[in-house]
Structures are given as C-alpha cells and as structure tokens.
Amino acid sequence: MTAAAFWPQWPATGPTSHFGGMAWGWIYLAFPWIGALIAVIVYEFLFKKAQEVVQEREAEVDAEQALIDQQ
C-alpha cells in the first residue's frame, strides 16, 4: 500500500483529527480483511452448499434418464 492511499487523511486538522489526521486510517487496513472474511463465509456456507444440491439433482436426473433409456 502506498502513501497515496492515505493522502486524503493527512491534511486533516482541528478537533476531529486525532493522531495527525489518521483517526480513520484503520479503515483502509481493516476493511479489506473484513471483506475477505465475508467472502470466505459466503463461499463456504452458500455457494458450496448450492453447488452440492445442484450436483445431487443432476445425478438424480441422470439416473432417471438411464432408467428411461433401458426401457
């Protein structure tokens, strides 16, 4: 990460600027990790489960088609 990402925070002055204008700098560091964690949770608990259901249904359809072809 370059210093340019923090540039909007540097010139801040006044009573709301703590730590030299970097009061909200933690957001730039924390939110990518939080977003990645949410993405992993969504993938594991929603996408993978939905894929398993679709694959099971496809297997059932294939089995039914095999029975029809035998007749």
Instruction: Please indicate, yes or no, whether the overall pTM of this predicted structure exceeds 0.95.
Output: no
Domain spans, the chain: 25-71
Confidence of residue 36 (pLDDT cuts 50, 70, 90): very high
Answer yes or no: is pLDDT of 7 > 90: no
% of the chain residues with pLDDT over 70: 69
State the average pLDDT over residues 39-51: 91
Which amino acid would we find at residue 5? A
Q: Is the pLDDT of residue 64 over 70?
A: yes
Distance from the Cα of residue 20 to its chain's centroid: 32
- C-alpha closest to that of 24 among 13, 5, 34, 9: 9
List of residues 6+ apart from 22 with CB closer than 8 A = 6, 9, 10
What is the residue-averaged pLDDT of the chain? 79
